[in-house]
Chain A
Amino acid sequence: MTLFSAEIDGMRDGYRRASARRSFVLIGALICLVLLMVLDLTTGPSGMPLVDIWYGLLAGPAGDDRMVATILWQLRMPQTVMGALVGACLGLAGLQMQTILGNPLASPFTLGFSAAAGFGAALAIMFGSLIPLPGFIVIPACAFAMTLVACALVYLIARLRGATPEILVLGGIAVLFFFQSLQSLLQFLASPEVLQQIVFWLFGSLLKSSWTSVTVTAAIAFACLPFIARSTWALTTLRLGDANARSLGLSVEKIRRHTFLIVALLTAAAVSFVGTIGFVGLIAPHVARALVGEDHRFSLPLAAITGAIILIGASVFGKFVSPAAVIPVGIITAVAGVPMLFAVIAKRGQRGMA
């Protein structure tokens, strides 16, 4: 059919150009992330010039300069990699949560997953000595398990009453308050030393990272990737609204239930080792959408990269501000998140959209 062929070619080329531009944005963000990670490696209480970092990286963990190798490979590298992983998990989880709830204010923590993780960690800190395993395993394992319990509760509610955004949010809020109260109870009962430990865990800090945590988090994140990839188009279609998506043959409730399982896993992987880190999962999706739109083939990876950039950026900032006693990154993201949130709200207001 030669009818309209010029118009059709024009539209197709326009679409291809838009896609190419989005790919460039992704590549640009990735480069930005790598640069920030290098910057993160050069900062720390003992400092280290870029040259040393370079040779330290080349020499590997068993390099001749033992001090450089130890600081770089045993202390800083796990923190940097963990920061990128946690940021990526939170960004991914946040975008998926905002998509399935159709709500720009949703985050990975909306359905109470972080409160559950906090309660699990507090439980482990108080009673962990009863389990004959080292604390660095018991605490994350407990936090992880509790997150899954919270997820199971919300899943159950969604199964019984239908997985609409309203039901999910209401169920999530109930779960959130439940675990928050339990956690308060534990804090009330705890001795001052234990209380201090609990509070420090809740702050969310990359100092807790190790190669073990990196491996576990990475394994969970990569295990989730195929499922996320498979649901990419379904998630994009869901953005047309429930009625539209359903009329196009999409099982709306099923995709919601599956996606929030993935969100729970990603969130649990992110917070179990390093504690709660707020705002990353809320802001990163907004940045991603503003830059590449809502085709989830582009917005999901960009939300992950943006999440990592924000978290590593916060980590670098924290180390610059007080090189001696590193401020927990969770506090920085929370403080920096507020103006970013205001910026998002103001921008939406300008465009005249709810």
Chain B
Amino acid sequence: MMARLVLRDVDVQHGRTRILFGVSASIAAGQIVGLIGPNGAGKSTLLNAIAGQLSAKGKILWSGKPVDARDIGFMPQHCQVRAELSVLEVILLGRHEQLGWRIADDTVNAASRILAFFEISDLAARSMQTLSGGQQQLVLLAQRLLREPQLLLLDEATSALDVRHQMHVLKLLKDYVARTGALVLVAVHDLNLAARHCETVMLLNGGRLVAHGAFQKVITPDILRSVYGIEAEFIPSQSGTPVILPLSPTSVEANPMEKSP
């Protein structure tokens, strides 16, 4: 049987503010799932809860067991590294639990191979401090892949990447999923990116799971109006998935986010 991520009534509270309201879902492994929704919808909170980084009520089960932080790959948002460590050293730390006084050739090779796959071999010996934000993001993502996780949780992991690297990384993730049958859960803002690369999407709004399913079923002009408060045009494209072109914010009266007390 294929592994599954099961969420049952997941509630998260920060002090007296409730952030997630009973999120329930059952997600099969072997796919890339996009987590979408406006700012403050609870995407990061949900990922953090699944990764076990904050306490949540309800059940979070991976293959029927509670998630163990050591078995997953989780990449939080906005991680800057300000240490005098080379890129290859940072990648190696992805397996910090297994490293000893001498690092085996196999481990160094595995780390180097990931850098080669990411097309950043030329950065291997560079100090992390000299990299741009996007380059750091690539390195940290590569580091998570060295752990070869079956559950990979990425919070805005491609937000700082240029177009080419964004596509390249998503292709790598696709290959990774195809090869290992892993589940990749990725929070994205770019709807077109989600449309093209995620088999299914989960739409969060105001801490609630609004919809879950194939992108074209979930994202409709009505949903964009009610959840994001925008008018958008869906332009058919050769790839089969329409391109979403945001046109204008909906008028204040029609915007449900403004109406709520």
Contact = CB atoms under 8 A, between A and B. Distances in A.
A239 B82 CA distance: 8
Contacts of B83: 239-240, 294
Interface stretch (A5-13, A89-97, A260-268): A5-13
Contacts of A7: 112, 116, 121
Interface string A1-42: 101100110111011101000000000000000000000000
From A10, A244, A247, A351, name the one whose CB has the most chain B CB atoms within 10 angstroms: A247
A178 B111 CA distance: 49
Q: Which of B70, B112, B113 has the most CB of A within 10 A?
A: B112
B9 interface: no
Contacts of B99: 233
A296 to B, nearest CB: 10
Interface string B210-241: 00000000000000000000000000000000
Contacts of A243: 76, 79
A236 interface: yes
Contacts of A1: 113
Interface residues of B, number: 41
B109 A4 contact: no
A233 B74 CA distance: 19
A47 interface: no
Given A4-B121, A236-B85, A293-B84, 19 more contacts: A7-B116, A8-B112, A11-B108, A16-B108, A18-B86, A18-B125, A233-B99, A237-B93, A239-B81, A239-B85, A240-B79, A240-B83, A240-B93, A241-B80, A241-B82, A248-B94, A249-B97, A250-B96, A295-B89
Interface in B43-95: 51, 53, 69-70, 74-76, 79-86, 88-90, 93-94
Interface of A: 1, 3-4, 7-8, 10-12, 14-16, 18, 233-234, 236-237, 239-241, 243-244, 246-250, 289, 293-295, 297, 351, 353-354
B105 interface: yes
A22 B186 CA distance: 39
Given A248-B94, A293-B85, A241 B79 contact: yes
B140 interface: yes
B115 interface: yes
A297 B101 CA distance: 7
Contacts of B115: 11
B166 interface: no
Contact of B88 (A15, A234, A236, A237): A15
For the complex of A and B, the 9 pairs showing the least CB-CB separation, nearest first, are: A4-B116, A11-B112, A249-B70, A239-B83, A8-B112, A247-B74, A11-B124, A237-B96, A249-B69
Most chain A beta-carbon contacts within 10 A, residue among B53, B84, B121: B84
B129 interface: yes
B96 A244 contact: no
Contacts of A16: 108
Contacts of B90: 240
Contacts of A240: 79, 81, 83, 85, 90, 93
Contacts of A10: 121
A297 B102 CA distance: 9
Nearest to B68: A249
Contacts of A241: 79-82
Contacts of B97: 233, 249
B175 to A, nearest CB: 12
Nearest to A297: B101
Nearest to B130: A351
Contacts of A239: 81, 83, 85
A295 B83 CA distance: 10
Contacts of A293: 84-86, 89, 127
B113 A4 contact: yes
A236 B97 CA distance: 11
A26 B140 CA distance: 29
A9 to B, nearest CB: 8
A297 B92 CA distance: 13
A241 B140 CA distance: 12
A244 B140 contact: yes
Contacts of A295: 85, 89
Given A233-B99, A241-B82, A353-B82, A15 B108 contact: yes
A7 B124 CA distance: 10
Interface centre among A7, A10, A289, A353 (most CB of B within 10 A): A7
B124 A244 contact: no
A246 B53 contact: yes
Contacts of A244: 76, 79, 81, 140
A248 B238 CA distance: 40
Contact of B53 (A233, A247, A351): A247
Given A14-B125, A248-B96, A293-B84, A8 B116 contact: yes
A243 B78 CA distance: 9
8 contacts: A7-B116, A11-B116, A15-B86, A15-B125, A233-B97, A241-B79, A243-B76, A294-B83
Quick one: which of A239, A240, A246, A250 has the most chain B CB within 10 A?
A240
Interface string B11-53: 0000000000000000000000000000000000000000101
Interface string B146-178: 010000000000000000000000000000000
Contacts of B121: 4, 7, 10-11
A244 B93 CA distance: 11
Contacts of A248: 93-94, 96, 143, 147
B53 to A, nearest CB: 6
